[in-house]
Amino acid sequence: MDSRGSTPMVPQRAAVPVASAPVAAPLLLGVDAGTSGLKAVLLDEAGRTVDEATVSYQFLTPRPGWSEQDPETWWQAFRDALAILWSRGNDPAAVVAVGVTGQMHSLVVLDSQGAVLCPSILWSDQRTGEECAEITDRIGAETLVERTGNVALAGFTAPKILWIRRHWPEVYERAAHLLVTKDYIRYRLTDDFVSEMSDASGMLLLDVRRRAWADDVIGELGIDPALLPRLVEGSDVTGDVSAAGAAWTGLTAGTPVVGGGGDNATAAVGLGAVDPGILTLTIGTSGVLFAPLDRYPSTVNGKLHVFCHALPDRWHLSAVTIAAGGSMRWFRDLLAPLLPVNGDAAYEWITDRASHSTPGAGGVVYLPFLTGERTPHADPNARGVFYGMHMGTNLDDIARAVLEGVAFSQRQCLDLMRDAGARAAVVRGSGGGLSRPLWRQIMADTMGIGLQLAGPGMGSARGAAVLAGLGVDIYATPNVGMEWAAVPIQGPNPSGAESLAAPYALYTELYPTLKPVFAAAASRDSRAAAAE
């Protein structure tokens, strides 16, 4: 269905060169441009994974709290990932539709010729505190939540637009198109400037209840609506692979490209979390807890994100711990000069050390606020803390404290979702962090709910491919290629849950106590920067 509730129609297309022979085994391509890498997945007509390829890349931190990437990095990684798939014998002519997804909120600014004007300011960037305050003051806190479903947060896209207008005026004056990550990939592939409801929800410019641009908010902020892309639903066909896109990627010109979605919403599609009761938890760079809804919530107070789902007539609540897997990556990099192993093996080494500690980490509590925090504390000034270290603290305790601190953050988020009326029967997990049994058990013990681990390829890229299949009628339902009844549920361990109760209570007390300290330190840093 499209945004007006009608049945999706495949638009008429101009005549373009296409493969003349019928495709015996159609494939669906899903592409996920994440923070640390891009994944491309091929699914068959039964929803089974045929192949996948991943290309890694870095992001830049030119100043504390800043996060940037060159959008060309995503496009080149996309081309490289497809080249890997084609080199393994997969036939690009068999791809009958493409779905796109990627990190949310990250702003791409293009000129009238489609050229990138500045680095993309990423979802994790925290530079826009003043712009968030400006948006709240101009719109009004209650009106903003009423119209967009959300409060102004540093990671969202609208504050980034205002920041660029204020600090890089020469860029803003030349801007002709404002996109987010996946929609830049779509543009390079199709020449179309299009977004869809789930990703647009995170721009803070969408009327999430009505699934349309919030014209009054856009006008009050002085943003030209002509800069914003056309909106569709995630399963709508948005256009076709252009001749140039085909030449760059090996795909067939004329191949349909669907709306796709933000990475969290498409991950939920890939995990079968479309109806209420089935939650998802993704531990990548960030940690995202996601609860589907079959109607817009009756009470919206800004404590949780309220976004459109990637499918029509569905919404969701979501909560984000900015540095979840990012905390483990930071800890690994910190220890790197001392470790006997490197790369991904270092994660296993750290987790093994954590297993030698006990629940409660020997009294050490970790606050995972390395780049500020999103949920439940919308505070860009928050910083990471280890509390409770003493002469008996060892590396095992500190390693376990990192795992527990991220789990404690997820528990706070789950409590908020239950308070908002979300049903929680089971959590389906994906992301590198949850591949480790110890961290899964800590999550289950802390959250008090069973967790199912998704198999390989059951993430955002898969969800994008499923949406592609829905868009061209290869799939009749998003629940394809999954047999969740056969996947064991890792439930809470009563003794572990009991041991974590007191550390969790302490965790919840630390942020309110430290909040004024964080604010004072940020004020000092701001004055020092202004004096330079």
The torsion angle over the Cα atoms of residues 506, 507, 509 and 515, rounded to 10 degrees, is 150
The reported pLDDT for the residue numbered 513 is 97
pLDDT band at 431 (very low <50, low <70, confident <90, very high): low
Report cis status (omega within 30 of 0) of the bond before 478.
no
| DSSP 8-state secondary structure symbol assigned to residue 104 | S
The tokens of 31 are what? 């592409």
Query: 19 and 252 in contact (C-beta within 8 Å)?
Result: yes
pLDDT band at 17 (very low <50, low <70, confident <90, very high): very low
Calculate mean pLDDT across residues 106-112: 98
Mean pLDDT of the chain: 92
Query: 400 and 354 in contact (C-beta within 8 Å)?
Result: yes
Catalytic residue among 125, 207, 263, 445: 263
The reported pLDDT for the residue numbered 484 is 84
pLDDT band at 8 (very low <50, low <70, confident <90, very high): very low
Q: What is the CATH number of domain 321-453+493-531?
A: 3.30.420.40
Concerning whether 32 is annotated as a catalytic residue, the answer is: no
Q: Are strands 177-180 and 107-110 parallel, antiparallel or unpaired?
A: antiparallel
The reported pLDDT for the residue numbered 529 is 76
The answer, yes or no, to whether residue 15 has pLDDT greater than 70, is no
CB burial class (10 A; 0-12, 13-18, 19+) of residue 238?
Answer: buried
Calculate mean pLDDT across residues 418-426: 89
- Give the predicted TM-score (pTM) of the model: 0.82
The answer, yes or no, to whether residue 411 has pLDDT greater than 50, is yes
Distance CA 309, CA 314 (A): 5
What is the H or E stretch that residue 428 is in? strand 424-430
Calculate mean pLDDT across residues 184-199: 98
Determine what percent of the chain is predicted with pLDDT higher than 90.
Answer: 81
The tokens of 157 are what? 């896209």
pLDDT band at 234 (very low <50, low <70, confident <90, very high): very high
Q: pLDDT, tens digit, for every residue of 260-299?
A: 999 989 989 998 899 999 999 989 888 989 999 999 988 8
Give percent helix, percent strand, percent coil of the chain, each to the nearest 5: 40, 20, 40
The reported pLDDT for the residue numbered 525 is 83
No. of H helices and E strands in the chain?
16, 23
Determine what percent of the chain is predicted with pLDDT higher than 70.
Answer: 95
Query: 471 and 453 in contact (C-beta within 8 Å)?
Result: no
Distance set, CA 163 to CA 83, 86, 321, 389, 444 (Å) = 37, 41, 23, 39, 40
Count of all residues that appear for the chain in the document? 532
Q: Is the dihedral of CA 438, 443, 449, 453 positive or negative?
A: negative
Q: pLDDT, tens digit, for every residue of 45-90?
A: 999 999 999 999 999 999 988 999 999 999 999 999 999 999 999 9
Domain with CATH 3.30.420.40 in the chain: 27-271, 321-453+493-531
The answer, yes or no, to whether residue 515 has pLDDT greater than 50, is yes
The answer, yes or no, to whether residue 324 has pLDDT greater than 80, is yes
Full DSSP string of 47-85: S-EEEEEEEE---B-SSTT--EE-HHHHHHHHHHHHHHH
The reported pLDDT for the residue numbered 253 is 98
Query: 474 and 48 in contact (C-beta within 8 Å)?
Result: no
Distance of CA 346 to the CA centre of its chain: 25
Distance CA 270, CA 295 (A): 20
The tokens of 117 are what? 């004007």
The reported pLDDT for the residue numbered 284 is 83
Distance CA 14, CA 20 (A): 16
Distance CA 316, CA 273 (A): 10
| DSSP 8-state secondary structure symbol assigned to residue 273 | -
The reported pLDDT for the residue numbered 19 is 42
Calculate mean pLDDT across residues 215-233: 98
Distance CA 170, CA 164 (A): 9
Report cis status (omega within 30 of 0) of the bond before 256.
no
Q: Give the class (CATH, top level) of 27-271.
A: alpha beta
